[in-house]
């Protein structure tokens, strides 16, 4: 379990493509400082298991085909900047919201509107996830816990086929400490909706 509060902006060191998987080596001195084999680290919002810790500042993870297909992890290349967060400790403050690290789908950055103190970023939203997203609710974008500031439906589908969209407002801290600060229009991002909404829906269906 995670909170969506990014601890460190890491870097992909190597990508080894396998027949039905990939092995990534990622540099992140902070998250690696107390990591060991079997620990969980969220990489751009995807919960991955540490295989090895290397040289005290890097770790390797294995990524199966399903994760590569369902998230943006499959598109990572050497040198890519990634958001990193260690699993939450029971004694820590819950600064964001409950995040599982299980990607529900991907969206595409449609627009960026900068202002003096923040950027408003509009992201496409898959139809299957739209019902779980509400204004002022929480959503995880590339592992970042963010508040939905706007919702809408476009007159025409976006390039990825999605008509629904949502907006988030990125404060200077988010812009400087996460990969969303430099993400351009057209960038594919991982989305995880609030798990509580999915449980409520399931309970209603079973009622």
pTM listed for this prediction: 0.92
Res 95 pLDDT > 90: no
The answer to whether the CB of 143 falls within 8 A of the CB of 85 is: yes
- Predicted confidence (pLDDT) per residue in 145-187, tens digit: 999 999 999 888 988 899 999 999 999 999 999 999 999 999 9
Read off the pLDDT band of 55 (50, 70, 90).
confident
The answer to whether the CB of 190 falls within 8 A of the CB of 113 is: no
The answer to whether the CB of 142 falls within 8 A of the CB of 45 is: yes
- Taken in order of first residue, the domains within the chain and their CATH numbers are 8-86 (2.40.30.20), 105-206 (2.40.30.20)
Give the integer Cα–Cα distance in Å for 131 and 198: 9
| The pLDDT of residue 37 | 95
What number is the average pLDDT over the span 80-91? 92
- Predicted confidence (pLDDT) per residue in 119-143, tens digit: 999 999 999 999 999 999 999 999 9
| The pLDDT of residue 207 | 63
Coil/strand/helix, residue 161: coil
Handedness of CA 38, 32, 44, 174 (dihedral sign): positive
């Amino acid at each position: 379990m995670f909170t969506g509060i990014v601890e460190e902006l890491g870097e992909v060191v190597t990508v080894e493509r396998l027949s039905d998987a990939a092995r990534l080596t990622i540099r992140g001195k902070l998250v690696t400082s107390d990591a060991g084999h079997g620990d969980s680290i969220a990489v751009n919002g995807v919960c991955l298991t540490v295989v090895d810790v290397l040289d005290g500042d890097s770790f390797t993870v294995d990524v199966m085909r399903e994760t590569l297909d369902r998230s943006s992890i499959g598109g990572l290349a050497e040198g890519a900047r990634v958001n990193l967060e260690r699993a939450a400790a029971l004694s820590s403050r819950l600064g964001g919201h409950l995040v599982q690290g299980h990607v529900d789908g991907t969206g595409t950055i449609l627009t960026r509107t900068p202002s003096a103190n923040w950027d408003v970023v509009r992201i496409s939203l898959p139809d299957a996830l739209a019902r779980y997203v509400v204004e002022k609710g929480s959503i995880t974008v590339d592992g970042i816990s963010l508040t939905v500031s706007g919702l809408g439906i476009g007159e025409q589908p976006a390039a990825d086929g999605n008509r629904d969209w949502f907006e988030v407002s990125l404060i200077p801290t988010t812009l400087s400490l996460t990969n969303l600060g430099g993400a351009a229009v057209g960038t594919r991002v991982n989305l995880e909706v609030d798990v509580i909404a999915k449980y409520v829906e399931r309970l209603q269906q079973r009622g």
